[in-house]
Structure 1
């Protein structure tokens, strides 16, 4: 039994009891082959809830600090996060984005499911912010379809992403798969990258019902 199956079997019922998740549109995720899941990011538990309620294992990028902790707590965190599909990457510095992109490409070329938050960070105020074009590069480089998704209600259960989440209801809503084969070979055209990214974010906005802000979330946080 893999760690993912074990974690899902143990934590799945607990998560269902705590968060009473309503999962909509999961049938839009292809049963096999590479696929990119692209969605909004409201709080820390997004990356714990969504993967546990997908039939296929979902891989995603996480901060390497989640797996480098010391002592029993550190080892347990590393076991849990890597077992649920997190791939630790040092995202600090100028090469962090490139490392994340190449990791996603490798996962997709292996025919797996890769999840990404195009905003690049958690929303500072519950609104949906401008997407970064890494999502477009990934789909154009690999040909993998994009399934947009929306996390709804997680920020109410864990405001600010800090502290233990309180019980409540959350919704995980998946949209229809999007494919961009018409742009094949244009993964270096910045206008194409922006158009693809914006079309994905428009679907995420439709699914989530969030107000859209045409600004990067990192700039909003800095301001």
Structure 2
């Protein structure tokens, strides 16, 4: 109930005013049955705007820590993430990645819509980064279709690192469902999984128009944080080179 109240009463109207969302290809999202929505990731607002424009409830995976806080703040955070359609990753397995896969398989087994971000984290600079193979393994294991979703303009409405939201224009483009049944039985083959995720990311690049970077976004963020912690050089760039 809270999911729909957030969408149509509490947050939806505000998101409409701020982003004036334009939608393309929504007919590609089936009205029933399990499906994976694979999206580029520019800002926190990505999840909100996908939920706003898709008629079905979208479920996202979230860190278990979001659901285990204590006190009033912990209760509110747990309630909010649950109401927003997120579920904690099953970490009963020693391997967190395997736990996430188990949770995702359960969600798809219930015929739900699962929202995923192949890049694994938000883009540090608006470009499209290399996809991680977890989504590919899930698609190959379950056999459900993957729909590429390009988010455009969310980083203008909700600039990364800023708590302020701004007026802008958000566009959400849904590509045609991608069927990987030709790879049936090959889940676990790292070469096949890489080929599948690269195909998904290529479709995202075509839909979004973003420049592609053949690096993991998380690695780029880590490198940037390391550079930020280093003392500045005493020499001009040209001299140091």
Mean Cα displacement is larger for which, 24-33 or 155-164?
155-164
CA distance in 1, matches of 2:164, 2:82: 20
Aligned to 1:53: 53
Aligned to 2:2: 3
Aligned to 1:169: 169
Q: Is the 8 A contact 1:123 1:217 kept in 2?
A: yes
Mean Cα displacement is larger for which, 155-164 or 36-45?
155-164
CA distance in 2, matches of 1:60, 1:161: 21
Q: Is the 8 A contact 1:146 1:177 kept in 2?
A: yes
Aligned to 1:219: 219
CA distance in 1, matches of 2:163, 2:65: 17
Say if 2:113 is the partner of 1:113. Answer: yes
What is the CA distance between 1:77 and its match in structure 2? Answer: 3.1
CA distance in 2, matches of 1:66, 1:166: 26
Gaps of 5+ in 2: 224-241
CA distance in 1, matches of 2:18, 2:69: 27
Instruction: Give the 5 Å matches for 1:31-180.
Output: 31-89=31-89, 95-180=95-180
Mean Cα displacement is larger for which, 81-90 or 15-24?
81-90
Closer, same or farther: CA 97–162 of 1 in aligned 2, 3 Å: farther
Partner SS, residue 160 of structure 1:
coil
What is the CA distance between 1:161 and its match in structure 2? Answer: 4.0
Aligned to 1:27: 27
CA distance in 1, matches of 2:46, 2:100: 19
Structure showing greater Rg: 2
What is the CA distance between 1:63 and its match in structure 2? Answer: 2.7
Partner SS, residue 60 of structure 2:
strand
**Count of equivalent residues:** 221
CA distance in 1, matches of 2:205, 2:106: 28
Partner SS, residue 119 of structure 2:
coil
- State the TM-score, normalizing by the size of structure 1: 0.92
Partner SS, residue 155 of structure 2:
helix
- State the TM-score, normalizing by the size of structure 2: 0.85
What is the CA distance between 1:79 and its match in structure 2? Answer: 2.0
Q: Is the 8 A contact 2:153 2:171 kept in 1?
A: yes
Q: Is the 8 A contact 2:7 2:51 kept in 1?
A: no
